[in-house]
């Protein structure tokens, strides 16, 4: 039986690798595009508003846990007016299985109020307006601009921060540095789908403590110095 090694450093402390060459950045995304057929979010939604609420709820929570909650919530309330009418206590009953549900309920209700009063209940399509909403920071705004409105933005979550540093694709001490470097380095051809290529690769292959290097499509391009330790024996 193969013993799986684990990375000793914490996810947020992943040491940056040597910088990946620009030629290999191109190959990196070409290969990911061949193995990831559907570069899209795993959050379940049918409208831009549902996506916004799901993304707010997904902070420090898994997409699976969010989907379980919204499958119950959205059939009952899936407009700003309907969720606002639930109030914080009513909303908590639907999202109490998600981490930080108290603060998230507060933010979602405020967000719905903002949408009703400032944007005629429509999700805005500019960064400034999105970030004016309660519970919406730069990462959430980037997700909305990219997924809902088709803009080539890069939302950096834990997976992408780790992956950028570990692979040498785009290193940085914080998420904004990694975001800026990714935007500079990713070929325009792949920019629209890059966020989803990276998050799915980080979620299922380039995992925090047990990266599955033996089945990695971009093993040759990756600059992770310890990648040989995680090959299947």
Please identify which of the residues 31, 92, 114, 157 carries the catalytic annotation.
Answer: 157
| Closest among 7, 12, 10 to 174, alpha carbons compared | 12
Please identify which of the residues 31, 92, 139, 227 carries the catalytic annotation.
Answer: 139
> 63 an active-site residue?
no
Contacts 24+ apart (CB under 8 A), 111-119: 111/52, 111/53, 111/56, 111/80, 111/135, 111/136, 112/80, 112/81, 112/83, 112/84, 113/80, 113/84, 115/49, 115/80, 116/80, 116/81, 116/84
Angle CA 51–101–45, to nearest 5: 15
In whole angstroms, what is the distance from residue 217 CA to residue 90 CA? 45
> 92 an active-site residue?
no
Report residue 223 as tokens.
């600059």
Report DSSP letters for 184-202, one per residue.
HHS-HHHHHHHHHHHHHHH
In whole angstroms, what is the distance from residue 122 CA to residue 131 CA? 14
As annotated, the active-site residues are 139, 157
């Amino acid at each position: 039986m193969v013993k799986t090694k684990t990375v000793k450093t914490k996810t947020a402390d992943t040491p940056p690798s040597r910088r990946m060459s620009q030629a290999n950045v191109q190959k990196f995304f070409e290969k990911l595009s061949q193995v990831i057929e559907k570069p899209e979010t795993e959050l379940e939604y049918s409208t831009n508003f549902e996506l916004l609420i799901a993304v707010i709820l997904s902070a420090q929570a898994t997409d699976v846990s969010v989907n379980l909650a919204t499958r119950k919530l959205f059939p009952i309330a899936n407009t700003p007016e309907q969720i606002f009418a639930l109030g914080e206590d009513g909303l908590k009953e639907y999202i109490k299985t998600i981490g930080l549900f108290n603060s998230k309920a507060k933010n979602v209700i405020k967000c719905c109020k903002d949408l009703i009063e400032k944007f005629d209940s429509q999700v805005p399509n500019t960064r400034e307006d999105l970030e004016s909403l309660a519970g919406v920071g730069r990462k959430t705004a980037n997700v909305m601009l990219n997924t809902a409105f088709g803009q080539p933005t890069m939302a950096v979550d834990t997976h992408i921060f780790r992956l950028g540093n570990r692979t040498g694709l785009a290193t940085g001490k914080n998420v904004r540095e990694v975001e800026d470097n990714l935007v500079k380095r990713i070929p325009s051809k792949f920019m629209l789908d890059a966020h989803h290529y990276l998050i799915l690769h980080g979620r299922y292959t380039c995992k925090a403590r047990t990266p599955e290097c033996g089945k990695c499509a971009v093993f040759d391009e990756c600059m992770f110095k310890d990648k040989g330790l995680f090959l299947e024996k």
